[in-house]
Amino acid sequence: MNTYWLEHAWLGDRVESGVVVDLVPPDAPGPVPADEELGDGTRAPGPVPPGHLLAVRTGVPAPPPGAVRLPGLTLPGLANAHSHAFHRALRATVQVGSGTFWTWRETMYRFAAALTPDSYHALARAVYAEMALAGITAVGEFHYLHHQPDGRPYDNPNAMGEALIAAAADAGIRLTLLDTAYLSSGFGAAPDRHQRRFSDSTADAWAERVSLLRGDSHTLIGAAVHSVRAVPAGQLATVADFARHRDAPLHVHLSEQRAENEACLAATGRTPTQLLADHGVLGPRTTGVHNTHLTDEDITLIGTSGTGTCMCPTTERDLADGIGPAPRLQRAGSPLSLGSDSHAVIDLFEEARALELNERLRTRTRGHWTAAALLRAATADGHAALGRPEAGTLAPGAPADLTTLALDTVRTAGAPPLLGAETAVFAASAADVTHVLVGGRVIVRDGVHVRLPGTGRALAEAVAAVRDGGGR
């Protein structure tokens, strides 16, 4: 048994001081049996698998003998519910001059064309290490770079997806690979030259390829519809059925741009949300990403179906998409999660803060969410959106995924520890993360990634390789 003493811990509805967590070591030979007696008289809720929390005890004023001390505020590991790892190479590059979402997309295509399985692995490994340094223990990778740039499959048709799986394993974080169907460039249009490597031609061919992917203890295989413009209406059900038969998460870019809504209405007479509902895509395993430009009926369809909403406020601001109706969606029944999407920054504390502050700007009123509610979006509800409903909590039986924030930095110092949730959401940044555990293994110690200590250098080298390739 491994034991950690948490100076302060957020337990979902409150901050407690002096919390001890016992966990089954990640290399233990097997689960701890139910009702095994522990030395202090508490009982395990077992059987508890290796790398999971065995017991959580509050009111312990000092570290027990042999316990590892984690000063500051410890949270459940954060969940980044929407990522495009290769977009990290665009940081700063796409901030030169002005432009629109559509001109930004042209730059993105140029970088996408430069990637190979090897360069994608190197870039994603560094990006996932950056996420770990930001306190993220699980990521949903919205993956559509499937084939060679000319559209021909690799000898291994999942070479690019397997590069991402290996990258997450190297970086030590959990991955939900949301393998994405991307079949057309618009309603009734074939993929353009930039998009050939994204396309499997048909949803049936996409499903055949994805069925060859295998998950493991740190990897889940999910599915995604890139958007209603990228998957013909008659093939949406194939993707939805694939996810449903595997009880897998299903994500979709939804109403990010008004132009997409207008094109969908012109082609089908339906809004994107209505079209997804017609073809069985909505539901409690599904998460709509962005959900920005919605009608009242759209909001009702999303909420009553239990479809989730992943907001990516930094990207939505960066691309001038707009501010989505997150409070109305949540009131309608849509759980909220958060993503860093294009990785203009990787900081879920900033994303949580922006969700509230954007809404304050839009409505000119304060207090749409409590700090605890925003942390739930960044933890438990984010993990649930990625197919891990057992994660995102500091409770017996949950995965031993922990993120610790320093409370004595220039950003976090001064507030009482009992306001730790407010400090985390409204003051802290990714730079304040000191320790991260994933499945009981230490991934970040004292602000340094233990597997990739030169993360900044690795990022610079990986981005340069893609940038130089993209310039050819």
Which residues are designated catalytic? 290, 341
- Backbone phi and psi for residue 82, each to the nearest 5 degrees, phi listed first: -150, 115
The neighbour count for residue 310, using CB atoms within 10 Å, is 30
Q: Are 428 and 54 in contact (CB under 8 A)?
A: no
Residue with tokens 């929407």: 82
- Backbone phi and psi for residue 33, each to the nearest 5 degrees, phi listed first: -60, 155
The per-residue b/e assignment along 218-232, b for 16 or more CB within 10 angstroms, e otherwise, is bbbbbbbbbbbbbbb
What is the chain's length? 472
- Backbone phi and psi for residue 429, each to the nearest 5 degrees, phi listed first: -135, 175
Local structure of residue 60 (DSSP, 8 states): -
d(CA 301, CA 99): 33
- The CA-atom distances, in angstroms, between 384 and each of 137, 251, 307, 308, 470 are 13, 12, 12, 10, 36
CA Rg, the chain, in Å?
22
Residue with tokens 């900081």: 347
Closest CA to 391 of 138, 57, 134: 138
Amino acid residing at 405: L
Q: Are 251 and 240 in contact (CB under 8 A)?
A: no
Q: Are 330 and 309 in contact (CB under 8 A)?
A: yes
d(CA 76, CA 56): 13
Q: Tell whether omega for the bond before 416 is within 30 degrees of 0, i.e. cis.
A: no
d(CA 179, CA 208): 12
d(CA 252, CA 196): 20
Q: In DSSP terms, which residues pair with 21 in a beta bridge?
A: 4, 56
- Dihedral (CA of 186, 187, 190, 196) sign: positive
